[in-house]
Chains A and B, each alone.
Chain A
């Protein structure tokens, strides 16, 4: 009979624990994992940023896929594959639009434009239907007859002699189209056929995006069946591909890191404890922490960002420490089964303080205006608290006296003792290095923090290059500059868009823009449509005016009876509404360029096609008189967003650090001890930053989060040395547990440091050396051990 916790209590605690873990797993299994940038966009943006975020989350750019079919036998074969893939994609229903240069789908749109020409044509005005206006317009059409362009005009001439259809078509055909060969879009720079598709599902629905990508791959496989080595290669790019790739990559990397981490950690723990049971027990707080952290994020935010998940692997490094401290420090009880009580009284307060300092540090992130950072905060706090609770309450039920085996801890302790003895001699060296690091940082200044938002993107350089190349081929507006119209209702938005379009027409004729895309070409405001229809004369008036207008022209007035009938019929037409367009071929364009905003009100977008003479300041000046219209430069906005983000993160990290210091001060109740504890932490941070500066690493937000982690993890070491000095006693087990805890931390962050996901490696590269430094410096600045 041992004196461990009672059987009932044991079962109770273990069941509770199991139930909590199962509940966490249940929450996680129902959670969506996201990987889009939007988690790293502010939750309370200004007006422009809101546009940007809406666009990034669900705008047409977030739903646009570019497909390349490169190589293969010849252009004809690529064109066949392109047509087959395009047909399959259209039939799948997953895409609202699939374009590959095959214009057959525009026939329906052509009919619509022709039928509604007197509502859609910008030329329709009372002057246009005066005698002079009619003569002028008919002359204009005549000047096209008998030329290659006349082939389009002639079949419509009797019904549309003023050329309204031609006028509308002129505007709708994009100025920058891809090259066409064998009837399909092809690249200008590579032997490649091109398709452009927009998914029906929103850009933030990654599962649907993944399904869309899989459908393209399946259609490609079907279309190239039997071609063997001669088949053209499939290339895919666009925001959905990037999002899905990032998610998969982060997922894969998190799993990979967890497995490698577990193996390395397992070896270390086995070496330390020589007991598989201890190994299993040590892993339990870690697993519980990861489950709790993920579930907490899922509950608070509704979805878990892939990066948060990857970050989970960093938690291993800190939570495993708790188990190590427990397993080692609960050993050697005088009465069997009471080790856990002694640990609870003697060591738990220190562990708890370490936990609290970490929680304080991460709590600062909770208040971040960026959901991505707040997620990291929630994850870390929930994970750490759960792991500590498991260590405090769960582990004593499983191993009341800590770990049994001795393993190689004696050697570890000896080594640690040697290091602890030797380090104080290096104090001066560390201080000099610290001063040098501060000087270097002061010299580099803000230049040190030069990493950009894109440096957080896990998209490889090759993928980015493929994307740029496909984008250039398609002539897709890269969305660099957007004109955004915001208004209270749909009609107000359309009227403001028309006003903006009029200003942009000037820029087109100045040669600054090769064109622009606006929704009002297919959906003019009702006011404009009514004004146009109101300018149409009745049949008798039109007939009289026409007779006069064609005098002297080589045309008989009787030819225009179909025209008079068409105008008369148009006068009775109801205005075109968004609902009229919702089912037709123009629906995707309308949907992309005009939408109801989530927070109320309506937005319209105008996509610009700038030429090399484009001058952004001229654009801003031209649109300045229109209060509803804003010019959003995506690059600039993202840049300023990141700057704001970085600034906010700085403040939060500083506040977090301050909270840690205050907490330590409250606990230690001694300025001397507080300084002794903070000194190595500060120096560890300074030296890590100095090292980064020497290595010319551009630092960003995640490095900053890493610094906070150094303080959180390092404070545990510093506190141990503080305790060591207060009690004047450093037994082998404490030294061994410190060394082991540090090793596991350095190893787990070291693994993250070599990850090829930039966001993770940034954290790892800061924390791995920083944690090691924190331990060494804590030893160096502790008093020499009393012998």
Chain B
């Protein structure tokens, strides 16, 4: 009887384990979006390394990122040159070298695609992301990667590959590979 009971408990435990483990195997796009959507606001610092053909050695930059759901995103570069890109809804404000430029995102679909790659991912908005990209998720909740293949012809003529990576609800890296071979790798460290 006891053995039998022990077996039954063991079976239960196995079943529970299986259940718990299941998401890790079949971690999919919608679940990732669900995780990301929980984070409504975030501040992070970033460093960026860019490998450009014809330039000896990587170009480095660093700064801060801030996101407020659903659609505000600010990238503030502090080194080597101060520069700000702020997106709010459909408006994009670029400030560099003492000048400010305003743009509407939806008038330039390729820029909108790039903004949404970051913004819609941070917001966990699957519909918007799928409007511009074909997403592929790999890894598990603790270490996921989201590959985004651009749907827009103009964007895909510029971007060869775009990959975001992270842990649970946090984006920790953005890698971009441009047509022609240039690459950029951004590493993000959330502030807590």
Contacts and interface: CB of A to CB of B under 8 A. Distances in A.
Given A139-B80, A140-B97, A509-B99, A147 B104 contact: no
Interface residues of B, number: 37
Q: Which of A148, A175, A178, A514 has the most CB of B within 10 A?
A: A148
A288 B57 CA distance: 91
Interface in B102-132: 102-104, 106-111, 114
B111 A146 contact: no
A180 B106 CA distance: 6
Contacts of B159: 148
Contact of A177 (B81, B107, B114, B183): B107
Nearest to A505: B99
A170 B100 CA distance: 10
Nearest to A609: B102
A142 B59 contact: yes
DSSP majority for the A interface?
loop
A555 to B, nearest CB: 6
Contacts of A148: 110-111, 114, 158-159, 176, 178
B126 to A, nearest CB: 21
B83 A143 contact: yes
A340 to B, nearest CB: 77
A563 to B, nearest CB: 13
Interface in A551-565: 554-556, 559
Nearest to B49: A146
A179 interface: yes
Given A139-B80, A170-B101, A509-B99, A145 B107 contact: no
Interface in A121-160: 139-140, 142-143, 145-148, 150-151, 154, 157
Given A146-B50, A554-B56, A180 B81 contact: no
Contacts of B35: none
A180 B107 contact: yes
B44 interface: no
Contacts of A509: 98-100
A559 B182 CA distance: 18
Given A140-B96, A142-B55, A509-B99, A475 B80 contact: no
Contact of B104 (A170, A176, A508, A554): A176
A601 interface: no
Contacts of B55: 142, 145, 554-555
Given A143-B83, A146-B59, A555-B55, A151 B104 contact: no
Contacts of B50: 145-147
Contact of A514 (B52, B80, B102, B182): B102
B177 to A, nearest CB: 10
Contacts of B111: 148
A240 interface: no
B31 to A, nearest CB: 29
B100 A139 contact: no
B184 interface: yes
A151 B178 contact: yes
B160 to A, nearest CB: 11
Interface string A489-530: 000000000000000000011010011000000000000000
A768 B147 CA distance: 77
Interface string B68-87: 00000000010011010000
A507 to B, nearest CB: 11
Contacts of A170: 99, 101
A105 interface: no
B5 interface: no
A515 B109 CA distance: 21
Given A179-B104, A180-B108, A511-B100, A143 B54 contact: no
A188 B106 contact: yes
A188 B180 CA distance: 34
Given A146-B50, A179-B107, A554 B101 contact: no
Contacts of B158: 148, 151
B51 interface: yes
Contact of A175 (B59, B98, B103, B109): B103
A588 to B, nearest CB: 20
B168 interface: no
A177 B104 contact: yes
Contacts of B103: 173, 175, 177
Nearest to B105: A179
A181 interface: yes
Contacts of B61: 143
A611 to B, nearest CB: 8
B183 A146 contact: yes
18 contacts: A143-B77, A145-B50, A147-B184, A148-B110, A148-B176, A148-B178, A154-B52, A154-B182, A170-B101, A175-B103, A177-B103, A180-B109, A475-B104, A508-B100, A511-B100, A554-B59, A555-B54, A559-B54
